[in-house]
């Protein structure tokens, strides 16, 4: 292989299982690439070179002895720095937590390590998952850069997670999604970013942002990677009070079912702001799926996007304020402007407003779920434009605020950002696929069908 750092997680896993790729050599190659490239990308906050190499040696010895644990054995990964890691600092991108070293490890990391995966390091993030860090420039760590064009925005808040995967600094990475924070960076950098059904994956050991909206998950290069990782991290966890006790299917096996016979609801109009390039990428994706046997029907969201955004904002502001109220009262001067603004907004939300937002959320969730009486999947925009340049402050704010990501956060349905092509400047375009509750398998099937029928996944950033 020319460069093992550009392997997908599942490609690397197959080579490791066949003993054609050494986990030690693979980890060392990634560490070397981090040293060479991350100065420009700024994905990592805390690389873990020593522990990663030790884990790689242990994995190599286990595999050589015939004790192979599965498709992620010996495969490295990295995590957004809001995931607790015992004995290793967890900063959440905040001055408030620069010295915080937890005594526990997040459940998802534990599950991945039990499957033989190797933790490579902790990744950049907006403060407590709150942004927009690219506009304010007042956080303790430099802003992560888009590997397709370092002058451009990464989306957020899982900024380091997407930058690391797109740049070949980790084959997959964990993030979190409260209002699109897995799917927005995936859209900005052309990744497969899956927000699973609310409750499908544990949040135990992950710093909360908004209890009733937070979802954990992974940013990957391919749908197959997403399926394999989800198969490891999904499942009930009694430590997370929002965790759902639902069966976990074999997502990887389900990938090969294709889309023939599925009915896909194309949401052609989500309101103003969607650029022609994004719209054409979605239309092209719809044609590909139709060519593979899917039936297309045009559907409309049951309410304007503004209703989803309004409900999400009020819920997010107030719940986040309740989580961080003590720090806001005692140490607000250490917070970045974006977090201070959010805390101020949360302090002004009345109980009546919060309850009204939750009631609206219930109405929107039921109405959105009713669409699945008409179709198996929804295809619609995620981000409305390609990643803007940092110098375009209005464009950066609009990239985050003007999207259709909140639909699935409010409704709780699984949703995935997929690569739908490239614009004339070579920047990734995106589409979003939404599925029925706990039917991530069908979402992944459609994403895999798109990847198999298009050449997009073969293209990598030229760093």
Query: What is the number of other CB atoms lying within 10 angstroms of the CB of residue 168?
Result: 23
Place of tokens 């020319």: 2
329-to-28, 221, 274 alpha-carbon distances in Å: 45, 41, 39
Q: Which of 376, 454, 367 is closest to 418 using CA atoms?
A: 454
Strands of 172-177's sheet in order across: 44-47, 118-123, 76-80, 172-177, 215-220, 192-195, 415-422, 428-435, 377-380, 263-267, 295-299
Place of tokens 């899956």: 194
Residue 450 is encoded by which pair of tokens?
Answer: 């798109």
Residue 95 is encoded by which pair of tokens?
Answer: 């001055």
Give the list of residues 6+ apart from residue 214 with CB closer than 8 angstroms, or none.
Answer: 176, 177, 178, 203, 206, 208
Q: Residue 322 and residue 317: Cα distance in Å, rounded?
A: 9
Residue 366 is encoded by which pair of tokens?
Answer: 């039921």
Q: From its phi and psi, is residue 153 left (phi > 0), alpha (psi between -120 and 50) or beta?
A: beta
DSSP string, 202-249: --TTB--S-TTT-EEEEEESSHHHHHHHHHHHBS--TTSTT-------
Q: Residue 400 and residue 397: Cα distance in Å, rounded?
A: 5
* Catalytic site positions: 80, 157, 181
Give the list of residues 6+ apart from residue 191 with CB closer than 8 angstroms, or none.
Answer: 162, 165, 166, 185, 219, 220, 221, 417, 419
Give the list of residues 6+ apart from residue 138 with CB closer than 8 angstroms, or none.
Answer: 336, 337
Indicate the Cα dihedral angle 436, 438, 442, 446, nearest 10°: 80
Query: What is the number of other CB atoms lying within 10 angstroms of the CB of residue 206?
Result: 26
Rg (C-alpha) for the chain, rounded Å, is 20
Q: Residue 227 and residue 230: Cα distance in Å, rounded?
A: 5
Decide: 346 and 128 in contact? Cβ < 8 Å.
no
Residue 182 is encoded by which pair of tokens?
Answer: 């897995």
Residue 241 is encoded by which pair of tokens?
Answer: 């009070």
Residue 454 is encoded by which pair of tokens?
Answer: 């298009």
């Amino acid at each position: 292989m020319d460069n093992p750092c550009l392997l997908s997680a599942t490609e690397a896993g197959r080579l490791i299982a066949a003993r054609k790729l050494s986990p030690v050599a693979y980890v060392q190659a990634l560490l070397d690439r981090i040293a060479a490239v991350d100065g420009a990308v700024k994905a990592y906050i805390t690389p873990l070179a020593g522990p990663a190499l030790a884990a790689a040696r242990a994995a190599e010895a286990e595999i050589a002895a015939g004790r192979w644990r599965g498709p992620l054995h010996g495969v490295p990964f990295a995590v957004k720095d809001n995931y607790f890691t015992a004995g290793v600092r967890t900063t959440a991108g905040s001055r408030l937590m620069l010295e915080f070293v937890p005594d526990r490890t997040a459940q998802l990391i534990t599950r991945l390590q039990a499957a033989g995966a190797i933790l490579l390091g902790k990744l950049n993030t907006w403060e407590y998952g709150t942004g927009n860090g690219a506009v304010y420039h007042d956080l303790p760590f430099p802003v992560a850069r888009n590997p397709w064009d370092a002058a451009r925005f990464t989306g957020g808040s899982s900024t380091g997670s997407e930058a690391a995967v797109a740049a070949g600094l980790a084959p997959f990475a964990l993030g979190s999604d409260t209002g699109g924070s897995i799917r927005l960076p995936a859209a900005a950098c052309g990744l497969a970013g899956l927000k699973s059904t609310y409750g499908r994956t544990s949040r135990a050991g992950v710093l909360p942002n908004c209890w009733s909206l937070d979802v954990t998950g992974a940013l990957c290069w391919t749908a197959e990677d997403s399926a394999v990782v989800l198969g490891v991290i999904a499942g009930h966890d009694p430590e997370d009070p929002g965790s759902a006790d639902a069966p976990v299917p074999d997502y990887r096996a389900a990938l090969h079912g294709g889309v023939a016979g599925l009915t896909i609801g194309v949401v052609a109009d989500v309101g103003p702001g969607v650029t022609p390039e994004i719209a054409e990428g979605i239309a092209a994706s719809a044609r590909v799926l139709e060519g593979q046997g899917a039936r297309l029907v045009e559907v409309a969201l049951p309410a304007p996007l503004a209703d989803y955004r309004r409900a999400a904002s009020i819920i997010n502001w107030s719940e986040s304020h309740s989580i961080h109220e003590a720090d806001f009262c005692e140490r607000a001067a250490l917070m970045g402007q974006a977090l201070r603004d959010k805390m101020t907004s949360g302090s002004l939300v009345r109980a009546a407003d919060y309850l009204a937002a939750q009631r609206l959320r219930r109405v929107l969730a039921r109405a959105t779920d009713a669409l699945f009486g008409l179709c198996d999947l929804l295809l619609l925009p995620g981000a409305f434009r390609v990643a803007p340049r940092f110098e375009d402050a209005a464009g950066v704010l609009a990239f985050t605020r003007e999207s259709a990501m909140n639909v699935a956060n409010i409704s709780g349905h699984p949703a995935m950002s997929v690569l739908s092509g490239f614009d004339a400047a070579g920047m990734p375009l995106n589409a979003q696929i939404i599925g029925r509750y706990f039917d991530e398998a069908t979402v992944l099937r459609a994403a895999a069908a798109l990847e198999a029928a298009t050449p997009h996944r073969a293209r990598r950033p030229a760093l």
